Structure 1
Amino acid sequence: MEKKKRRWPKVVGWLAGVTGILAVSGTLWWQNQLNVLRHLKVPQERVATVFIPGYNSNSWTFSPMIQRFDRYGIATDAMTIQVASNGRLTVTQKARLNQRNPLINIIFADARNPEKQIGQLDTIMTRLYQDYGIHQVNLVGHSMGGFLAFRYLTHRQAGKQPAVKRFVNIASGGARDDSDFADTPRDLQVLAIGGDIWNMNSDWQVSLASVQHFVRQVKPLAASAKLSVIHGSPFTAYHSALHQNPIVDQQIARFLFR
């Protein structure tokens, strides 16, 4: 019994050492990943970019990406719009919306009801135009957020709303039915990003084929459409890891801010 007791401090010490090594390695790896953003220079425009999260999402879907853009001077964390279940909007403005690539993060309280969210997104766009003078936007959607963004683009309500210049569709097939593609805006520029974990043609949530299909359908109709495939491990190419990947940040920034 005494020998077994003496082993425990060694085991605990070994585990602590391994944990420390992993923590240091993880920190160094992450800092190395961020190098692609540290020296990235892009034009500073007035066009606002609206971020639309996916199914069952929360503020952490796009908040880290927005904070990285802001931290490295790529764009500005300008506004958060929280949408209550009843559709009421709570707008928090953090910076001016007419300079330095302003970013707007949308957070839905009821994030599992896409049909409701489509109507709420329409209300948000009208509010941005009428109350904040935003006449041009880019859209960035992840997963179901990509579907919401494209549905908005192809089924816009009448009225004064911002014109959409560019659309980034991350890890999403973009449309439930091929008939939706017919109404793709002809002046729209599109970037679709898909994940491919270990050459399995999937991000383990959405197949790469569905993202590729989206690009094939949109390309003949839009002003431009291109596909970017993130090959790698679950740490970089998994469905939810895509919007936490600085390489994806870099590609989005170069596409939107030019």
Structure 2
Amino acid sequence: MTEKLKQFRYVFFFVVVASLIVIGSSTYIFSKPTRSQDNAEIVPTVFVHGFKGTYRSFDTLLDRLETGIPDARRLTFHINKQGDLTIKGRYFSQKHPFIQVVFENNQASITDQTMWLRKVMTTLHENYGFEKANLVGHSMGGLAAANFLLTSSEDIYPSVDKLIVIGSPFKGISAERYYKPGSSAAAVDLRVDSPALLSMADHKAAFPADTKVLAVAGALQRSDNPGDGLVAVSSALGIKDIVPATHYSQEVFYDTEATHSGLHEHRGVDKAITAFLWPNL
């Protein structure tokens, strides 16, 4: 009887501990932020993946940045297919919050991704009290970030101090192998001279006058039409036709590591991001 009682106590203790862990994890992942602290001077950096991207797209880049950036903190903002937002992580007034945005529908249109990004930015402003933010987008994520700036001027969002676009095809992607019959909404928008891309260029006057922009491109070889294997350099730098010249800068990496998917794993890109966003570190 005594031995059975001991076993029962062990099992009961295990169940209680496991339950507390589950409850604690759920609270950590989905708890709502508080605005007890003043975050007006803190500038979070929002990272938006590209076409068919996942949390893995920026995961290792953020790992590397967190190693070199003091007082960094990562939160993940996940948008499901219905547009609902869940947040993983808690923010405790760290100086450099990193917001990793993950779209469950990673083949959505620029319009839909822009709408979801508005939800992210509204949350950063209303729930966390951030007055400013930086945006970093790879490939289509850069297009969504730029389109957000062109179409979202309300005071319910943080103002965007700096924008980095990495391999983002502002002039479209010409490779026909990229498109198949019945292509997704994203693929339609990524075509050369698509209505979505032309609309962005047509509304360039709406681009915020104070936002500084860095365009990053990859070139696997020097030729008449260099590119990263998918996006031509001229397309990746196409945002210069939208941004005021005084606030535009660019960097092109000419090497075999500067592939389209390799740009967010490129150590040179790491350095360019750090120098542009945090020049005093």
Q: Any residues of structure 2 matched to 1:154-233 within 5 Å, and which?
A: 154-156=150-152, 158-174=154-170, 176-177=197-198, 178-200=201-223, 201-220=226-245, 223-233=246-256
Helix, strand or coil at the partner of 1:255: helix
1:248 aligned partner: 269
Q: TM-score, normalised by structure 2?
A: 0.70
Structure 1 partner of 2:96: 101
Partner residue, 2:148: 152
Distance 1:99 1:83 in 2: 24
The TM-score normalised by the length of structure 1 is 0.76
Task: State the alpha-carbon separation in 2 of the partners of residues 239 and 188 from structure 1.
Answer: 25
Tell me, in whole angstroms, the C-alpha distance in 2 between the residues paired with 1:199 and 1:94: 45
Q: Deviations over 1:93-129 (max 9, x none)?
A: 2442x33321110001001112222111111111111
Aligned partner of residue 61 in structure 1, secondary structure: helix
Deviation at 1:143, TM superposition (A): 0.6
CA distance in 2, matches of 1:180, 1:74: 38
Residue correspondence of structure 1 range 88-127 to structure 2 within 5 A: 88-96=84-92, 98-114=93-109, 115-127=111-123
Percent pairwise identity: 29
For the 8 Å contact 1:54–1:145, the answer to whether it is kept is yes
Q: Which amino acid in 2 is paired with 1:218? A: V
Instruction: Measure, in 2, the Cα distance between the counterparts of 1:112 and 1:205.
Output: 17
Please report the RMSD computed on the Cα atoms of aligned residues, expressed in angstroms.
1.8
The residue type paired with residue 76 of structure 2 is T
Amino acid at match of 1:252: I
Structure 1 stretches of at least 4 aligned residues deviating more than 3 Å after TM superposition:
none
**TM superposition shift of 1:163:** 0.6
CA distance in 1, matches of 2:214, 2:160: 13
Q: Deviations over 1:140-169 (max 9, x none)?
A: 001100100000000006341101000001
1:65 aligns with 61
| Distance in 1 (alpha carbons) for counterparts of 2:208 and 2:64 | 30
TM-superposed deviation, 1:134: 1.3
Task: Give 5+ residue unaligned stretches, structure 1.
Answer: 1-44
User: How many pairs does the alignment contain?
Assistant: 209
